[in-house]
Amino acid sequence: MSIKSDENKKSCLRILLEILPVILIIIGWPIVYYLDSARDKENKRNEMVVQYLIETSKYLVDLNRVGHLSLNENLTEQEKKELIEAWRNFEKAMFNMQLLGSNVQIDKVFEIYKIFEKAREEKSQKIAFDTTELLLNFRDELREYLGLDKVKDRKRGFAWIGITNFLKSLFKETNVNKDEAEKPVKQIKRK
C-alpha cells in the first residue's frame, strides 16, 4: 500500500507541476494587464502634461512678445494681427491652465487677465503686463517634471524675449525697413 501511495503522490505531484504554469498564467495575466494599463495611463498623463506645459509656454511667449504694444499707437496691420493673435493664444493658455495648471499658474494668469479687464473697464488703450514670471514657473515645473536640474539663475534663459521688441522700437526711431531688418530674427525663431 505504501508503494501505491507513493506512486499516487508522485502522479499528483506530476499533474500539479503540469497544471501549475497554466494556473500561474491564468492568475498572472490579469495582474500584468492591470499593471501595464496603469503604466500606460501614467505615461499618457505625463505626455499630456509635458505637451500642455510646452504649448502654454509658447502662448505666453507670444503674448509677452506683443505686450509692449499700445492700442492707441499707430499700429500697422501686421502688428494689429499679431496683437489679436497673441490675445487669442492667451485665452487658450488660460483654458489650458484652468484644466491642468497648478494653483500658482492659475493665480498668475488671472493677474494678467485682471490687467486686461481693468483696461477694458477704464477704456484705456494701454495694457502693460509681463509674462516672464509665469514662464519661469512653467520652466521650473517642466524641468522638475522631466527630472532635469534646476536652473541656478532663475531668470537666465528668458533674456531673449525682449529682443524683437527692442529691434522694433529701434527701427521705428531710425526709419529702417522693419521687414528687411527682422529677417535674421525671424530665421532664428524658425530654427
Give Cα 140 to chain centroid, integer Å: 11
> Tell me: the pLDDT tens digits for 97-120?
888 888 888 888 788 788 878 877
pLDDT in the model for residue 166: 60
Does position 178 have pLDDT exceeding 50, yes or no?
no
pLDDT in the model for residue 41: 93
Mean pLDDT confidence for 11-27 = 87
> Tell me: the pLDDT tens digits for 129-176?
777 788 888 888 888 888 888 888 766 656 555 555 566 666 665 554
Half-sphere exposure of 120 (CA within 13 A, CB side): 6
Higher pLDDT, 42 or 125: 42
**Alpha-carbon distance 21 to 27, whole Å?**
10
> Tell me: the pLDDT tens digits for 66-97?
766 656 567 778 877 877 888 888 888 888 88
pLDDT in the model for residue 78: 81
pLDDT in the model for residue 99: 83
> Tell me: the pLDDT tens digits for 36-51?
999 999 999 888 888 8
Residues of the chain above pLDDT 70, percent: 70
Nine cell digits for residue 123: 477704456
- What's the 3-state SS for the chain? CHHHHHHHHHHHHHHHHHHHHHHHHHHHHHHHHHHHHHHHHHHHHHHHHHHHHHHHHHHHHHHHHHCCCCCCCCCCHHHHHHHHHHHHHHHHHHHHHHHHCCHHHHHHHHHHHHHHHHHHHCCCCCCCCCCHHHHHHHHHHHHHHCCCCCCCCCCCCCHHHHHHHHHHHHHHHHCCCHHHHHHHHHHHHHC
pLDDT in the model for residue 114: 85
Length of the chain: 191
pLDDT in the model for residue 67: 64
- Tell if the pTM clears 0.75, that is, is over it: no
Mean pLDDT confidence for 15-24 = 88
- For the chain, the domains span 2-157, 159-191
